[in-house]
Amino acid sequence: IRNKIKKSVSTSSTGKQELLLNSSRDKLQMYSFNQSAHLERKESASQD
């Protein structure tokens, strides 16, 4: 019985961790996208 409880707890905690990882990954992608767009804007402005 204890093993079953441990398994269910571990799966729920890993699920939460995966959600956190996914959200942080999305934030990182958005951040890098914004950074690259900002750099492109700077380069185009300096070319003018």
What is the rounded CA–CA span in Å between residue 47 and residue 29?
27
> pLDDT at position 42, please?
79
Contacts of 12-21 spanning 24+ positions with Cβ under 8 A: none
Q: Return the amino acid letter for 27.
A: K
Question: Which two tokens mark 1?
Answer: 């019985």
Question: Which two tokens mark 16?
Answer: 């939460």
> pLDDT at position 5, please?
64
The DSSP code sequence of 15-43 is: HHHHHHHHHHHHHHHHHHHHHHHHHHHHH
What are the structural domain ranges in the chain? 1-48
Question: Which two tokens mark 48?
Answer: 């003018």
Q: How confident is the model at residue 26 (pLDDT cuts 50, 70, 90)?
A: confident
